[in-house]
Amino acid sequence: MRNAENVTFGAATLDRAANLRASAPKLAKDPSATTIVLWRGKPLVDTKTTKITRVSLDHPILKNADTQIFLGISANAPIFAFDISNWEPDPEQQADEASFFDQTLQHHPKAPKGSAFQETRAIMSLLSRDDAELAAAAKGVFGWHLSHPFCAKCGAATEMADAGWQRNCPTCGTPHFPRTDPVVIMLITHGNKVLLGRSPAWPDKMYSLLAGFMEPGETVEAAVRREVFEESGITVGKVGYMTSQPWPFPSSLMIGCYGTATSTAIDLDENELEDALWVSKEEIIDVLCGNNDNLLPSRKGSIAQFLIENWIKDSIA
């Protein structure tokens, strides 16, 4: 697909330098080495420029950091990520974990001036391509460490290895690696209309493309047809691949596809969706321009909006 690399989190410019992970302790002593900092999944960001803040590895904000990982080589220098989730902000700075996405800011007393921890989903469309990739990689790996502290084979506590990209079980010797869950998200069209749905947990009036997790032994095409039929009762014929997007909320790879519907009558699965409807291209343009009082678009920076905008531009192939 044309310009597919422009999707948020899709830069793929970071040299992950897997061959250097064993040398991470030595690289950390390189004077040019820097690190990004995360707190409970939120990167430290310059609030004026919306750039990911990079600090030296001896910066005082890193004192008593929980975890560090080697991300790779960026701008010809080693780049790391540190997690300082053990820091407790003042009560008035507590994160709003119950919201659709957290818009609160946390200001660490030792952070560089003008920096604060911000929810990635709130700023993802404003980040540079390189910064977005760094944030996605760090958030995804730290999230995996947090959710997989024990061996899936024997239940023993595991230990971090390979500069943060592996966990090993000292009891049974099983190695564990960061997981990525494949999710299909699909632009299903019928003539001049696209199929949209909404989850009950979403903000009022917000609609997006249908999506769902792939199952073992299933092709991408089969997953697209199954998910669409299960959620909406719509049958799908031709299916094609458009682009993909790493989605570290917490550990998905969104596989963007298009499909042509062979039926139009919606039979909603209310356990999956609150509503589904067909929307014309003209209506979608009004939604994206803020001229529709009944529908809100998917969030900026999401692969859903990226796919819809390319459909409007007739640049699917």
Give domain status of residue 317, yes or no.
no
Residue 229 sits in the same domain as residue 297: yes
CA distance 4 to 146: 31
Contact (CB, 8 A) for 307 and 242: yes
Query: 152 with 142, same domain?
Result: no
Q: Please indicate, yes or no, whether residues 152 and 228 belong to a single structural domain of this protein.
A: no
- Same domain? 213 vs 174: no
* Residue range 95-104, pLDDT digits in tens: 887 777 788 9
In a domain, 138, yes or no: yes
Which residues does 91 contact at the CB level (< 8 Å), separation at least 6?
none
Number of folded domains in the chain? 3
105, 56: one domain: yes
Is 217 in a helix, a strand, or coil? coil
**Tokens representing residue 289 in the block:** 């321009």
Tell me, yes or no, whether 241 and 273 share the same domain: yes
One domain, residues 225 and 257:
yes
Task: Give the Cα separation of 260 and 188 in Å (integer).
Answer: 6
Domain-embedded: residue 174? yes
* CA–CA separation, 317 and 311 (whole Å): 9
Mark whether 133 and 175 lie in a shared domain: no
**In terms of Cα–Cα distance, which of 136, 149, 148 is closest to 42?**
136
Asked whether residue 139 falls in the same domain as residue 218, the answer is no
Amino acid at 115: S
Last residue of a domain, one of 179, 201, 235: 179
Furthest CA-CA distance within the chain: 63
pLDDT tens per residue across span 205-238: 999 999 999 999 999 999 999 999 999 999 999 9
Asked whether residue 155 is domain-assigned, the answer is yes
Q: What's this model's pTM, rounded to 2 decimal places?
A: 0.91
pLDDT for position 107: 97
In sequence order, the 6+-apart residues with CB closer than 8 A to the CB of 88 are none
- Provide the domain limits for residue 162: 148-179
Cβ(79)–Cβ(71) under 8 Å?
yes
Q: Is residue 170 domain-shared with residue 287, that is, in the same domain?
A: no
Residue 65 main-chain phi, psi, to 5 deg? -60, 145
Q: Which residues of 272-293 are buried (b: 16+ CB within 10 A; e: fewer)?
A: bbeebbbbeeebbeebbeeebe
Residue 97: per-residue pLDDT: 76
Q: What is the pLDDT of residue 8?
A: 86
- pLDDT by 10s per residue, the chain, length 317: 555 567 888 877 899 999 999 999 999 999 999 999 999 999 999 999 999 999 999 999 999 899 999 999 999 999 999 999 999 999 889 888 777 778 899 999 999 999 999 999 999 999 999 999 999 999 999 999 999 999 999 999 999 999 999 999 999 999 999 999 999 999 999 999 999 999 998 889 999 999 999 999 999 999 999 999 999 999 999 999 999 999 998 899 999 999 999 999 999 999 999 999 999 999 999 999 989 999 998 888 899 999 999 999 887 65
My answer on whether 297 and 206 are in the same domain is: yes
Helices (H), ranges, the chain: 24-27, 120-123, 129-147, 220-232, 281-288, 303-312
